[in-house]
Amino acid sequence: MSVLHSHDNDIVWLAGASRRSGLLHRLAELARSAFARVESWLAERSRRRRVRAQSTIAERLRQRRVLATLSDRDLKDIGVSRYDVEVELRKPFWR
């Protein structure tokens, strides 16, 4: 008898004396390979999202620093009031 058993995100093969044991063993290997690929893809996706979020935050901080240094004349040219600048500068970095 052959049994395919899953435990702690790993597939364990419990071998017996079955004629289909080779097939079940191959299925276990394929499942393990598929899980590894999905896990790798999810890790890479998560890494890319973190990098994108960090760059977005850095860009917002840079733009707010530049906005804070503009003169009243420059603000008038772009159609922004000093009050609008103060509101923008008080926002948390994630917004």
Angstrom distance (rounded) from CA 92 to CA 9: 39
Angstrom distance (rounded) from CA 55 to CA 61: 10
20 half-sphere exposure, CB direction, 13 A CA radius: 7
Asked if residue 10 is part of any domain, the answer here is yes
pLDDT tens by residue, 23-71:
888 999 999 999 999 999 999 999 999 999 999 999 999 999 999 999 9
Domains in the chain, number: 1
pTM: 0.57
Asked if residue 71 is part of any domain, the answer here is yes
Asked if residue 95 is part of any domain, the answer here is no
What's the domain range around 33?
3-89
Mark 64-84 as b/e (b = at least 16 C-beta within 10 Å): eeebeeeeeeebeeeeeeeee
Asked if residue 94 is part of any domain, the answer here is no
Angstrom distance (rounded) from CA 73 to CA 4: 74
